[in-house]
Structure 1
Amino acid sequence: MIPFLDLKAQYKQMKPEIDAAVMRVIDGAQFVLGPEVAAFEARFASYCDVNHCIAVNSGTSALHLALLAADVGPGDEVITVSMTFVATTAAILYSGAKPVYVDVDPVTWTMDPALIEAAITPKTRAILPVHLHGLMADMDPIMEIARRHNLVVIEDAAQAHGAEYKGRRAGSIGDLGCFSFYPGKNLGAYGEGGAVVSNNSELAKRVSLLRDWGQESKYNHVMHGYNYRMDGIQGAVLNVKMNYIEPWTEARRSVAAHYDRLLEKQRCVRPMPPAHSRHVYHVYAVRLERRDEAQKVLQAAGVGTGIHYPVPVHLQKAYADLGYGVGDFPVTELLANQFLSLPIYAELTPQQVSEVVAELEKTFLVEVA
């Protein structure tokens, strides 16, 4: 059996450190925010090459607060993509704004900058690109368009911890960057967690106030706020994991390179990151015309897989009121029908990668040439 993800193997690697860190929080009784969270914020800000990091209770909360800090609200529109987890759209709706989708690039699978300007209206307030699977969107043209139209850029970097675009880290290019620390992420908490990063001191201050009931000091509330604080145990766990994120990232990239070599001549489309990007492979997805059959073959062989994402947000029943339908975003819809995510994590061995590919090759018997 080769699982899609093996968090137990990761925990075994650092069990004494994790256990000690958790007990430190319990002994100190600093259960909400506190020194462990503050220490993590400082380390993660440095890692992202930004001045500020505000830790929150989920990646969704990070997106919501980033939008509110940027004064996105009712009557505004936010340009984003449908090839993402629903949280991206949900956060826009939480702010009172309307999501406006553009299609993704057929090679990078991230927001297609060439489609952005046609989607801009007088109501457009922000652009929210999604760094999909661990690959950053094409940020230079996105930023150029945003600056020309006086728009805010918020990076959804929930899958892109440590990813780079032309030498710049995810979260450091836009006005704000948002991360998730859901347990399965490249940097995952032992529960929910998230963060907003920024080089803009005023925006960072607003996020910090908003996450903690809008209070500048205890019982001194200066704006409407939320209970979006990170708890101390998650800060402690993430602090320990910061010691490992770069080795883990390079291990994931090595696994991806092994997949690339073995799949080079096979009938599937592999990730093709631009040379200027550092892909961190939160997901290693291939494109297969008969994806569902391939997944069944792998499942029967004991290989875990995933699909990120089988139904684009614009075709989800919950978001039908946005007015989109089948055919509106053909690249996104094609990818949703073809993506198959293969196992990838730092502890995956070369032998296991070879076994996954050997089983996958059997599916090419049923592939369309």
Structure 2
Amino acid sequence: MIKFLDLHKINNRFREAFEVSFSNSLEASHFILGSNVSRFENEFAQYCGSKYCVGTANGLDALTLILKGYIELGRLQKGDKVIVPANTFIATALSISHAGLEPVLVEPNPKTYNLSLEHTEEALTEDVKAIVMVHLYGQLADVEGFKNLKNKYDLLLIEDAAQAHGAALNTNNLRAGNLADAAAFSFYPSKNLGALGDGGAITTNDTELHNAVSLLRNYGSREKYKNEIIGYNSRLDDMQAAFLRIKLKALDVDNEQRRIIAKQYLNGIQNAKLKLPYYNGTNNHVFYAFVVEVEDRDDFVNFLDQNHIGWLIHYPIPPHKQRAFYRFSHLKLPVTEQIHKRVISLPISPVMTDQDVQYVIEILKKY
């Protein structure tokens, strides 16, 4: 059986270091906003190339607190509209609603699955104050294009980098997390940089935003029992920060291994029934997921099951078809709807063997 993702194998590589780290954390017994959090924040900010990093409880909170932070600073107001790709994971749209803002769902580019620059500009109105560009499946969005829109229309530009840890622009090797006004990351266990539980982070070069989200994540307080604003409890766990510090050192190597596997898939899977992902061969993709399109997905799923190949669907139902967002159910989003009906993710991870990869390739050539 080729597992879709073998988390035990991925994390077992770090077992000895994890055990030492756990023992040290237990000895120190500083479990909330301890030294591991501040050290990870410094190390991850340096990795991304950003000035600041603020650890949060999860990726959804990271996005929500960015938006809440801009509201605190007066750069957004309740009811403002925020553009978001229609085919993203629902958390991106949820963050906008949680912040008291209004999501504007925009179709993706069918080639890359990332937010369409053209459709975004068409959707701009006076009420739109921000764009959340999602680096979906680990591939950077059209960063330069969206920066031009941001400057042209005086908008906030926010990265949802939950799936793009380490993805870098070709021109100057700028990484996700340092490509916009602020960025949100998730460290959900399946991510390229995954914790052993939930976790998230905000990166930014904006000192005012850094100060605001630092307050928001900790009850609106910088000094215990003195609350300056209406805040939340959304802190990165110190133990998880310790584990993330260990895994961060291997992230670039792991990402490169994912790209190697992706290139093998792209070169080896020759089957007209499968639409393979777009990839320009650079470091702008870290292949959180290797996503293919197939016309009859149910039939393909049965084929994979019969041949003992794991799979996952990112994502079976688009946000505007979810009951939670029933108010958007009237929208006609044909590109998004087709993507959600046809996409399926194949196994890809840094612990797959070459034998595993070749088996997947040979089987898929026979579909």
Match of 1:122 among 123, 126, 146: 126
Q: Are 1:320 and 2:326 an aligned pair?
A: yes
**Aligned residue for 2:266?**
260
Contact conserved, 2:321 with 2:329, CA < 8 A, in 1?
A: no
Within a 5 Å distance, the mapping from 1:100-249 to structure 2 comes to 100-166=104-170, 167-249=173-255
Please give the alpha-carbon distance, in whole angstroms, between the structure 1 residues aligned to 2:95 and 2:216: 14
**Aligned residue for 2:86?**
82
Identify unmatched segments of 5+ residues in structure 1: 364-369
Contact conserved, 2:107 with 2:116, CA < 8 A, in 1?
A: yes
Aligned residues with identical type, % of pairs:
37
Shift of 1:267: 3.4
Please give the alpha-carbon distance, in whole angstroms, between the structure 2 residues aligned to 1:227 and 1:180: 17
Shift of 1:24: 1.2
TM-score (norm: length of structure 1): 0.95
Contact conserved, 1:266 with 1:361, CA < 8 A, in 2?
A: no
**Aligned residue for 2:307?**
301
Contact conserved, 1:70 with 1:152, CA < 8 A, in 2?
A: no
Deviates more, 1:73-82 or 1:48-57: 73-82
Shift of 1:123: 1.4
**Aligned residue for 1:30?**
30
Q: Are 1:69 and 2:69 an aligned pair?
A: yes
Shift of 1:360: 2.2
TM-score (norm: length of structure 2): 0.95
| Paired residue type of 2:102 | K
**Aligned residue for 1:355?**
359
| Paired residue type of 2:52 | H
Contact conserved, 1:136 with 1:277, CA < 8 A, in 2?
A: no
| Paired residue type of 1:143 | K
Contact conserved, 1:158 with 1:179, CA < 8 A, in 2?
A: yes
Return closer, same or farther for 1:277/1:114 CA change in 2, 3 Å cut-off. Answer: farther
**Aligned residue for 2:53?**
53
- The number of residues matched between the two structures is 361
Return closer, same or farther for 1:251/1:275 CA change in 2, 3 Å cut-off. Answer: closer
Contact conserved, 2:271 with 2:365, CA < 8 A, in 1?
A: no
Deviations 1:221-259 (A, max 9, x none): 111110001111100110110121111111111111111
Contact conserved, 2:186 with 2:199, CA < 8 A, in 1?
A: yes
Identify unmatched segments of 5+ residues in structure 2: none
Contact conserved, 1:106 with 1:331, CA < 8 A, in 2?
A: yes
**Aligned residue for 1:281?**
287
Q: Are 1:336 and 2:343 an aligned pair?
A: no
Contact conserved, 1:294 with 1:360, CA < 8 A, in 2?
A: no
Shift of 1:359: 2.4
| Paired residue type of 1:88 | T
Deviations 1:162-185 (A, max 9, x none): 011233211211100000000000
| Paired residue type of 1:57 | A
**Aligned residue for 1:367?**
none
| Paired residue type of 1:181 | F
| Paired residue type of 1:359 | I
Shift of 1:274: 3.7
